[in-house]
């Protein structure tokens, strides 16, 4: 019997690193997943929503609802960001919506409708934290796959947790079922120039749109992409990533601010699944199959 696709909701800070857009494309190209909506978070969430709407239209999915969430972290100052991929909006500046529903409202609506969703969070967790504060039942109605944490072997705060550790602490303490893919795992999975050439040479117009976004990002950074966010999606649809149960606490003060403490069960710590190993070859092979519109199992 064919299994029904998993309903998923993506919460993203698309526009900075290219990996958010690549993760969105993998979700759309994966028959195991049914994308119910996208919410944007972090600096200039409205522009991120416009960009999301644009890429969804280019990739043949203008039907997917888009919401603009929280631009500001809960407590700490908002940084300045240079989002190179926003340049794709300069071609037709009048295109797109001038208003969007709020990302927190969208998540709360999912809780109220009792959807058994999987939330894939690949940006700071501000939207998810505020939705849980407004609708605690979201913790029972949904599970969370998050690209977050420095990993069990790292000692530097990972971006998504660093920029709103209070939100991360709220989410981890909510009782939600959480699967975390940390920075020490995702940095093992990186595309080569040969992979990018293969994407650029595709004759599929939607894949060509992906290649253009990669080019815009590379023009601003000069780097090759790590598959931080796409690996979090792949972990949901395959066994390329191995998880272990750990107690996790989020540091909020001093040198521990934004760090995951995986080793000390204490009051307020959360029991969750933490990525500890990745099969790099299998992960990249599956990523390339999906990005080139060739679905396959891993």
Tell me the domain boundaries of the chain: 6-291
Decide: residue 82, CB within 10 A, 0-12 exposed, 13-18 middle, 19+ buried: exposed
Residues ≥6 apart with Cβ < 8 Å to 221:
84
Band (pLDDT 50/70/90 cuts) for residue 92 is low
HEC sequence for 145-176? EEECCCCCCCCCCCHHHHCCHHHHHHHHCCCC
Band (pLDDT 50/70/90 cuts) for residue 113 is confident
% the chain with pLDDT above 90: 72
Mean pLDDT, range 230-239, rounded to an integer: 98
Mean pLDDT, range 215-244, rounded to an integer: 94
Domain 6-291: which topology?
A: Inosine-uridine Nucleoside N-ribohydrolase; Chain A (3.90.245)
* Helix boundaries (H) for 77-204: 103-112, 126-134, 138-141, 159-162, 165-172, 183-186, 193-200
Instruction: Give the active site residue among 84, 102, 228, 271.
Output: 228
Q: Kindly report the backbone phi and psi dihedral angles of residue 195, in degrees, each rounded to the nearest multiple of 5, phi listed first.
A: -60, -45
Known catalytic membership, residue 84? no
Band (pLDDT 50/70/90 cuts) for residue 201 is very high
Band (pLDDT 50/70/90 cuts) for residue 271 is confident
Confidence at residue 89, expressed as pLDDT on a 0 to 100 scale? 66
- In a 3-state reduction of DSSP, which class is residue 13? coil
Least confident of 8-17, 86-95, 107-116, 167-176: 86-95
Rounded distance between C-alpha atoms, residue 20 and residue 15, angstroms: 7
Does residue 88 have a pLDDT over 70?
no
Confidence at residue 228, expressed as pLDDT on a 0 to 100 scale? 97
Mean pLDDT, range 13-36, rounded to an integer: 95
Does residue 117 have a pLDDT over 80?
yes
Closest CA to 218 of 238, 241, 200, 245: 200
Closest CA to 216 of 201, 232, 200: 200
pTM recorded for the entire structure? 0.92
% the chain with pLDDT above 70: 89
Confidence at residue 82, expressed as pLDDT on a 0 to 100 scale? 62
Least confident of 176-180, 193-197, 246-250: 246-250
Mean pLDDT, range 44-49, rounded to an integer: 93
Does residue 218 have a pLDDT over 70?
yes
Q: b/e map of 179-199 (b: 16 or more CB within 10 Å)?
A: bbbbbbbbebbebeeebbebb
Closest CA to 22 of 242, 298, 297, 286: 286
Confidence at residue 297, expressed as pLDDT on a 0 to 100 scale? 45
The residue that leads in pLDDT, 16 or 28, is 28
The residue that leads in pLDDT, 4 or 67, is 67
Dig out the tokens for 297 from the structure: 């199992």
Rounded distance between C-alpha atoms, residue 50 and residue 55, angstroms: 9
């Amino acid at each position: 019997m064919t299994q029904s696709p998993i309903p998923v909701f993506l919460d993203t800070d698309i526009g900075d690193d290219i990996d958010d857009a690549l993760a969105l494309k993998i979700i759309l190209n994966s028959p195991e997943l049914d994308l119910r909506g996208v919410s944007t978070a972090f600096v200039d969430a409205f522009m991120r929503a416009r960009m999301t709407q644009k890429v969804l239209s280019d990739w043949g999915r203008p039907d997917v609802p888009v919401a603009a969430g929280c631009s500001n972290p809960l407590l700490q100052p908002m940084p300045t960001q240079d989002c190179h991929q926003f340049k794709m909006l300069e071609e037709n500046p009048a295109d797109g919506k001038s208003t969007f529903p709020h990302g927190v409202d969208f998540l709360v609506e999912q809780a109220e409708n009792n959807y058994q969703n999987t939330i894939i969070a690949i940006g700071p967790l501000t939207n998810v934290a505020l939705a849980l504060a407004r609708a605690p039942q979201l913790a029972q109605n949904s599970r969370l796959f998050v690209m977050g944490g420095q990993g069990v072997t790292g000692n530097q705060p990972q971006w998504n947790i660093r920029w709103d550790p209070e939100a991360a602490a709220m989410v981890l303490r909510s009782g939600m079922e959480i699967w975390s893919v940390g920075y020490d795992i995702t940095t093992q999975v990186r595309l080569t120039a040969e992979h990018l050439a293969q994407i650029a040479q595709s004759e599929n117009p939607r894949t060509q749109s992906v290649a253009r976004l990669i080019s815009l990002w590379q023009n601003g950074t000069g780097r090759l992409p790590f598959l931080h966010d796409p690996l979090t999606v792949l972990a949901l649809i395959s066994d390329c990533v191995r998880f272990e149960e750990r107690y996790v606490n989020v540091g909020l003060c001093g040198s521990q601010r934004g760090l995951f403490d995986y080793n000390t069960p204490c009051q307020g710590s959360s029991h969750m699944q933490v990525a500890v190993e990745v099969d790099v070859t299998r992960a990249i092979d599956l990523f390339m199959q999906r990005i080139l519109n060739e679905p396959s199992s891993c």
